[in-house]
């Protein structure tokens, strides 16, 4: 027969645990989650006395968002196991942030001794603004990347640890909903607890996380914690990898080093497993920094010397087939950019590193210089330049472009700006202000690749634009695909009602041109009217003649090259 527990010894055990914890509240919770004992600041923290708490579910004391978390945390405790303190919130009306700790007493008692400690003003609380992942409570990727950049610029030797938790997708398919919810929340809390200020951790992608700390990251503790949590949530296939790199500027300037960190975070977020391995992350990061330094220096050198070419493709008015304006397209030397994915790859790299504004400004300078040179010969010549959303968000770029236009006020009405959607615009208010200023100076604004990205309609609604360039995919398919034709008609009608002119991309046949005219699309661009060529830069071809040339003349020039059209890059 089992010996009955000694009540005096049990009471002693409780108060020893309470004294050791130095907490504000001690609770004893049985295996079913019911409170069997309570002592401490009961009234101030729970609004109830010990008698009212006894027999009630412990979960009632917690905010709804933390109940699944604590369920998994307690389930992860083995006999004699101890719970590392973790941040939770009490339920209303108290709603205090407290640190939850505890242990599980071994058999025969098998109860949980839980401590709750009110946070002092010096301890971290959840106050950092920005989007958060709902499951883990961690900062989203963009907010975390910005935080990493800020930490790199700040005093101190901060480090970045990247963590990959494998098996997340399978977990969501198989696990009990509440257990999966608690597991994700617990992973988020443990990562935050290891960060420099208690809230410098973020979810970079599904199952991929980042933690910024001052060297105190304990990977072995994290492996153990997540392993115990996975076991408690009945998850068999969860794996954990982590690696740490110094946020050290090294061979790069402080600004470029910060951008390189962002580049590394983006690479980690999008890479397939094996492409960007955590096992070799520290070494890989050093190589990435060195490689990025070379690329940045090369790009800056090209920008400084304007070591790139411009080609021009005509945009025509479909009503009379005359050239309305030209689009300036950048071209880098193919040999020096082939490893970077050509010109498009170099520009994408510049956007990710945050240095694209320097290149965009150089293109604007080149086009404005050209317009000034042909001003008397071709007063009606208009040229559009592509500008990244990243550049438009930059206050430095806005100031530099404004100064450039002030010095060339006579040709601003000949300049157009095409907003590319390759980089998502976040600082919309700044972009709206810049575009309004440009339009006051006479610069016309076009929204490029309309319909290609998820943000197109948001941009059309938010930004003051004069033209919309409809993505060529709809134009190519409009004749044979009813859905694409319907979308194109709807986009053209919407723009008409907004008073915004439309340009169709990739018009290559007369049938496509006729279809665009039927839908009241006003302008078109494509091989039917001319390929991108450097002819505007050739002194042998007067710009005044080219600006007045009808499309029929251009077609005659192109007829000898029809055979090569299908092989030309588009």
For the cut 60, the answer to whether the pLDDT of residue 552 exceeds it is no
Q: For residues 417 and 439, is the Cβ–Cβ distance under 8 A?
A: no
CA 395 to CA 122: how far, in whole Å?
A: 35
Q: For residues 448 and 417, is the Cβ–Cβ distance under 8 A?
A: no
Q: For residues 543 and 381, is the Cβ–Cβ distance under 8 A?
A: yes
pLDDT at 298: 78
For the cut 50, the answer to whether the pLDDT of residue 41 exceeds it is yes
pLDDT at 415: 95
Range(s) for CATH 3.30.70.270 in the chain? 141-295
Place 434 in a pLDDT band, splitting at 50, 70 and 90. Answer: very high
pLDDT at 568: 38
- Calculate helix-pair angle for 254-270, 342-353, nearest 10 degrees: 110
Contacting residues for 491 by C-beta, under 8 A, at least 6 apart: 450, 451, 468, 470, 474, 502
pLDDT at 246: 66
Lowest-pLDDT choice from 28-37, 68-77, 306-315, 352-361 = 352-361
Place 104 in a pLDDT band, splitting at 50, 70 and 90. Answer: confident
Place 506 in a pLDDT band, splitting at 50, 70 and 90. Answer: very high
For the cut 50, the answer to whether the pLDDT of residue 181 exceeds it is yes
Strands of 201-205's sheet, edge to edge?
A: 201-205, 208-213, 159-166, 239-246
Range(s) for CATH 3.30.450.20 in the chain? 7-118
Place 32 in a pLDDT band, splitting at 50, 70 and 90. Answer: confident
Segment 267-282 shows an average pLDDT of 63
pLDDT at 517: 93
Burial pattern 489-522, b for ≥16 Cβ within 10 A else e, equals bebbeebeeeebbbbbbbbbeeebbebbeebebb
Segment 385-397 shows an average pLDDT of 90
- Is 399 exposed, middle or buried, given 0-12, 13-18 or 19+ CB atoms closer than 10 A? exposed
> Which secondary structure element, helix H or strand E, spans residue 366, and what is its range?
helix 356-373
pLDDT at 335: 62
CA 345 to CA 338: how far, in whole Å?
A: 9
Segment 185-204 shows an average pLDDT of 88
Lowest-pLDDT choice from 97-101, 149-153, 429-433, 461-465 = 149-153
Q: Mean pLDDT of all residues in the chain?
A: 79
Contacting residues for 151 by C-beta, under 8 A, at least 6 apart: 158, 196, 200, 212, 247
Lowest-pLDDT choice from 52-56, 75-79, 193-197, 328-332 = 75-79
Segment 214-224 shows an average pLDDT of 86
For the cut 80, the answer to whether the pLDDT of residue 199 exceeds it is yes
Segment 271-285 shows an average pLDDT of 60
For the cut 50, the answer to whether the pLDDT of residue 354 exceeds it is yes
Place 545 in a pLDDT band, splitting at 50, 70 and 90. Answer: very low
Lowest-pLDDT choice from 46-60, 448-462, 474-488 = 448-462
| CATH number for the segment(s) 7-118 | 3.30.450.20
Lowest-pLDDT choice from 61-75, 96-110, 193-207, 544-558 = 544-558
Helix then strand then coil, % of the chain, to nearest 5 = 45, 20, 30
Contacting residues for 374 by C-beta, under 8 A, at least 6 apart: 381, 536, 543, 544
pLDDT per position as a tens digit, 396-419: 899 999 999 999 999 999 999 999
Greatest mean pLDDT among 111-120, 282-291, 550-559 = 111-120
| CATH number for the segment(s) 306-560 | 3.20.20.450
Please tell us whether the domain made up of 141-295 is placed in CATH 3.30.70.270: yes
Segment 56-79 shows an average pLDDT of 87
């Amino acid at each position: 027969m089992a010996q009955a527990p000694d009540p005096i010894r049990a009471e002693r055990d409780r108060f020893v645990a309470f004294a050791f914890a130095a907490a504000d509240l001690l609770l004893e919770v049985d295996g079913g989650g019911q409170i069997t004992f309570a002592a401490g600041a009961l009234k101030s923290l729970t609004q109830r006395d010990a008698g009212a708490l006894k027999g009630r579910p412990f979960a009632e004391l917690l905010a709804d968002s933390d109940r699944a978390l604590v369920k998994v945390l307690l389930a992860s405790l083995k006999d004699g196991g101890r719970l590392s303190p973790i941040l939770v919130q009490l339920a209303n009306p108290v709603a205090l942030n407290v640190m939850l700790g505890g242990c599980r007493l071994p058999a025969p008692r098998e109860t949980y001794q839980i401590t709750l400690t009110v946070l002092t003003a010096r301890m971290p609380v959840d106050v950092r603004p920005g989007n958060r992942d709902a499951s883990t409570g961690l900062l989203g990727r963009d907010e975390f990347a910005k935080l990493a950049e800020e930490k790199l610029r700040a005093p101190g030797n901060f480090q970045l640890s990247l963590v990959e938790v494998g098996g997340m997708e399978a977990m969501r398919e198989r696990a009990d909903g509440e257990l999966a919810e608690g597991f994700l929340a617990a992973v988020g809390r443990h990562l935050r607890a290891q960060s420099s200020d208690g809230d410098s951790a973020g979810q970079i992608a599904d199952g991929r996380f980042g933690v910024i700390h001052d060297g105190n990251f304990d990977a072995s503790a994290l492996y153990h914690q997540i392993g115990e949590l996975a076991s408690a949530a009945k998850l068999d296939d969860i794996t954990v990898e982590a690696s740490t790199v110094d946020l050290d500027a090294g061979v790069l300037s402080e600004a470029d080093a910060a951008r390189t960190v962002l580049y590394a975070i983006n690479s980690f977020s999008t890479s397939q497993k094996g492409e960007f391995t955590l096992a070799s992350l520290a070494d890989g990061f050093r190589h990435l920094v060195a490689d990025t330094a070379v690329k940045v220096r090369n790009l800056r050198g090209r920008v400084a010397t304007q070591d790139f070419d411009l080609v021009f493709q005509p945009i025509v008015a479909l009503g009379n087939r005359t050239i309305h304006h030209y689009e300036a397209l950048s071209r880098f030397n193919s040999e020096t950019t082939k490893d970077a994915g050509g010109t498009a790859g170099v520009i994408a790299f510049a956007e990710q590193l945050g240095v694209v504004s320097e290149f965009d400004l150089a293109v604007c300078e080149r086009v404005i210089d050209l317009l000034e040179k042909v001003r008397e010969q071709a007063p009606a010549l208009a040229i559009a330049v592509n500008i990244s959303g990243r550049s438009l968000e930059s206050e430095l770029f806005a100031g530099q472009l404004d100064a450039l236009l002030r010095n060339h006020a006579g040709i601003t009405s000949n300049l157009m700006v095409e907003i590319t959607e390759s980089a998502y615009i976040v600082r919309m208010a700044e972009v709206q202000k810049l575009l309004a200023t440009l339009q006051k100076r006479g610069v016309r604004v076009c929204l490029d690749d309309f319909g290609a990205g998820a943000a197109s309609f948001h941009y059309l609604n938010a930004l003051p634009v004069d033209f919309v360039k409809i993505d060529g995919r709809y134009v190519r398919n409009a004749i044979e695909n009813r859905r694409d034709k319907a979308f194109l008609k709807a986009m053209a009608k919407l723009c008409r009602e907004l008073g915004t002119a439309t340009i169709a991309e990739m018009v290559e046949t007369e049938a496509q041109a006729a279809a665009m005219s039927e839908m009241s699309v006003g302008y078109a661009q494509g091989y039917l009217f001319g390929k991108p060529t450097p002819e505007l830069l050739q002194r042998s071809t007067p710009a005044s003649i080219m600006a007045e040339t009808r499309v029929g003349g251009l077609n005659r020039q192109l007829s000898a090259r029809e055979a090569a059209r299908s092989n030309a890059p588009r």
